[in-house]
C-alpha cells in the first residue's frame, strides 16, 4: 500500500519521541512536581491529610473552599441544626418585601416580620426551629433575585452558613460559607462597598478590633483583607447601603459615646475616614438594617432599645428620617437582624 512506507517512518519517529520522553523523566524532574496532590478532600482524608495550610504538602486553592488559607478543614461539619423551612406550596407573590426583620426568640424559633416605615413591621410567622444553635444572624443580598438572604453562625463549631431567601421570608439552606468564625464579634454584610456588583461582608476580630473585608461570590466568602484597625470600641457596625449618594455602599458605626459615624465605601472597596452623622445611640442594644423600609432603593437603619422596642430611621442620603416605631416585645430575643 502507498501508506505503508509513511507508517513505517511514523513508527520510527514515535520510538525516537519515546526515547526523548524517557530521558527527561529523570529524578530531578520529579522534584519540581507537587509532592502531594489530592483530587478531593475525601482523597486527602483517605491518606490521613486534613487542615493543610498554604505552603504545606497537599494544599491547593481548589481544596480551600472558603479561601482562608486552610484546605480540607475538619471544622466543616454536618448540616446545621436548623432545618430549612419548606418552600411555600402556593406560587410566590411577585411583590418583593420592603422592610423585614428576623428574630430568634428564647425558644430558638426563627420569627419573621415584614412591613414598612409608615405602618411598622408585623409578625408574619415562623420560618424555622432550632435556631437557638446560632450565635449570629445578618441579612444580606447574596444574589440578584431581589429576595434578601440570611447568613448565620452556628455556635457549636463557629461555622458560617448561607440561606437563600424567597417570597415571604421563607429560607432555603445554600450551604456552609465559612469555618472558624468564632473570633469575629460582628459580622456585617455591606453590599457593594466598592461600587459595581461585587458584594462584601465585613467582620470585626474580637481580640484586636481589626476590621476585615470578605468577598461574597455565589455561595462563598473569600479573600480576607484588612480595611480597618482599632474598631474594638464600636458598639455596633451596620451596612445601610449607600448613605452618601455615590453608588457605593457605606458603613455606619456607633461609638462608645453613642455618636453615629459614617465611613464611605471607596472605589477600592475599603473605607474612608469617619464623619459624624448622628448621636444619642447609647440606649440601643442592637443596630442593624431592616432593609429598605421606604422602597426608595436604599437600605435603612433600625435600632433595638433594651425594652425590646425597635425604631426605624429612613436613609435620606447624608441624614436620617425621624425615629419611627417598627416593633415591640423583642427584649427576650436571642438574635435580631
Q: Which of 296, 316, 318, 328 binds Ca ion (CB under 5 A)?
A: 296
Compute the least distance from the CB of residue 228 to Ca ion, in Å: 16
Residue placing its CB nearer to Ca ion in the complex, 136 or 263? 263
Residue placing its CB nearer to Ca ion in the complex, 245 or 283? 245
Residue placing its CB nearer to Ca ion in the complex, 53 or 325? 325
Residue placing its CB nearer to Ca ion in the complex, 176 or 324? 324
At residue 223, φ and ψ (nearest 5 deg) are: 65, 55
Q: Which stretch binds Ca ion (CB under 5 A): 74-82, 186-194, 214-222, 234-242?
A: 234-242
Q: Scanning residues 92 to 121, which ones bind Ca ion (CB under 5 A)? A: none
Q: Is 167 helix (H, G, I), strand (E, B) or coil?
A: helix
Considering only CA atoms, which of 301, 183, 185 is closest in space to residue 241?
A: 301
Residue placing its CB nearer to Ca ion in the complex, 157 or 292? 292
The 3-class SS string of 51-87 reads CEECCCCCCCHHHCCCCCCEECCCCCCCCCCCCCCCC
Query: To which H or E segment does residue 29 belong?
Result: helix 27-31
Tell me how crowded residue 320 is: count the other CB atoms within 10 A of its CB.
19
Measured CA to CA in angstroms, residue 28 lies from 23, 24, 32 at distances of 11, 9, 7
Residue placing its CB nearer to Ca ion in the complex, 73 or 292? 292
Q: Does 300 bind Ca ion (CB under 5 A)?
A: yes
Residue placing its CB nearer to Ca ion in the complex, 29 or 145? 145
Compute the least distance from the CB of residue 148 to Ca ion, in Å: 6
Compute the least distance from the CB of residue 240 to Ca ion, in Å: 9
240 vs 250: CA distance, rounded Å: 7
Query: To which H or E segment does residue 123 belong?
Result: strand 120-128
Site string for Ca ion, 128-147 (x = CB under 5 A): ---------------x-x-x
Compute the least distance from the CB of residue 171 to Ca ion, in Å: 10
Compute the least distance from the CB of residue 285 to Ca ion, in Å: 23
301 vs 291: CA distance, rounded Å: 8
Q: Does 191 bind Ca ion (CB under 5 A)?
A: no
Compute the least distance from the CB of residue 249 to Ca ion, in Å: 6
Q: Is 189 helix (H, G, I), strand (E, B) or coil?
A: strand
Q: Scanning residues 242 to 261, which ones bind Ca ion (CB under 5 A)? A: 242, 244, 246, 248, 250
Site string for Ca ion, 144-163 (x = CB under 5 A): -x-x-x--------------
Q: Does 66 bind Ca ion (CB under 5 A)?
A: no
Residue placing its CB nearer to Ca ion in the complex, 61 or 118? 118
* CA contacts within 13 A on the Cβ side of 44: 22
Considering only CA atoms, which of 71, 260, 93 is closest in space to residue 170?
A: 93
Compute the least distance from the CB of residue 316 to Ca ion, in Å: 8
Residue placing its CB nearer to Ca ion in the complex, 73 or 250? 250
Q: Scanning residues 273 to 292, which ones bind Ca ion (CB under 5 A)? A: 292
153 vs 156: CA distance, rounded Å: 9
The set of cell numbers assigned to 212 is 476585615
Q: Which of 113, 298, 310, 320 binds Ca ion (CB under 5 A)?
A: 298
Measured CA to CA in angstroms, residue 291 lies from 100, 117, 184, 288 at distances of 6, 11, 23, 9
Which residues would be at the binding site for Ca ion (CB under 5 A)? 143, 145, 147, 149, 242, 244, 246, 248, 250, 292, 294, 296, 298, 300
Amino acid at each position: 500500500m502507498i501508506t505503508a512506507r509513511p507508517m513505517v517512518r511514523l513508527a520510527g519517529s514515535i520510538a525516537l519521541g519515546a526515547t526523548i520522553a524517557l530521558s527527561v523523566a529523570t529524578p530531578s524532574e520529579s522534584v519540581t512536581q507537587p509532592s502531594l496532590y489530592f483530587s478531593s478532600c475525601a482523597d486527602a482524608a483517605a491518606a490521613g491529610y486534613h487542615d493543610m495550610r498554604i505552603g504545606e504538602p497537599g494544599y491547593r486553592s481548589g481544596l480551600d473552599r472558603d479561601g482562608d488559607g486552610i484546605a480540607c478543614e475538619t471544622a466543616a461539619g454536618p448540616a446545621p441544626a436548623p432545618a430549612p423551612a419548606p418552600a411555600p406550596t402556593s406560587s410566590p407573590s411577585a411583590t418583593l418585601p420592603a422592610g423585614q426583620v428576623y428574630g430568634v426568640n428564647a425558644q430558638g424559633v426563627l420569627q419573621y416580620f415584614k412591613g414598612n416605615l409608615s405602618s411598622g413591621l408585623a409578625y408574619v410567622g415562623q420560618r424555622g426551629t432550632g435556631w437557638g444553635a446560632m450565635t449570629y444572624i445578618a441579612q444580606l443580598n447574596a444574589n440578584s433575585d431581589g429576595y434578601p438572604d440570611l447568613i448565620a453562625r452556628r455556635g457549636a463549631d463557629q461555622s458560617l452558613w448561607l440561606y437563600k431567601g424567597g417570597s415571604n421570608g421563607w429560607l432555603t439552606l445554600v450551604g456552609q460559607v465559612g469555618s472558624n468564625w468564632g473570633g469575629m464579634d460582628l459580622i456585617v454584610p455591606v453590599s457593594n462597598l466598592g461600587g459595581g456588583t461585587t458584594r462584601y461582608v465585613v467582620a470585626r476580630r474580637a481580640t484586636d478590633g481589626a476590621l476585615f473585608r470578605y468577598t461574597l461570590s455565589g455561595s462563598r466568602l473569600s479573600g480576607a483583607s484588612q480595611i480597618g484597625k482599632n474598631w474594638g470600641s464600636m458598639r455596633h457596625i451596620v451596612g445601610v447601603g449607600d448613605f452618601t449618594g455615590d453608588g457605593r455602599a457605606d458603613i455606619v458605626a456607633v461609638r462608645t459615646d453613642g455618636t453615629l459615624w459614617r465611613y464611605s465605601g471607596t472605589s477600592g472597596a475599603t473605607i474612608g475616614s469617619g464623619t459624624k452623622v448622628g448621636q444619642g445611640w447609647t440606649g440601643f442594644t442592637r443596630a442593624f438594617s431592616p432593609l429598605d423600609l421606604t422602597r426608595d432603593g436604599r437600605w435603612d437603619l433600625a435600632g433595638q432599645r433594651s425594652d425590646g422596642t425597635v425604631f426605624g430611621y429612613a436613609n435620606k442620603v447624608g441624614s436620617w428620617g425621624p425615629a419611627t416605631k417598627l416593633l415591640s416585645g423583642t427584649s427576650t430575643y436571642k438574635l435580631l437582624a
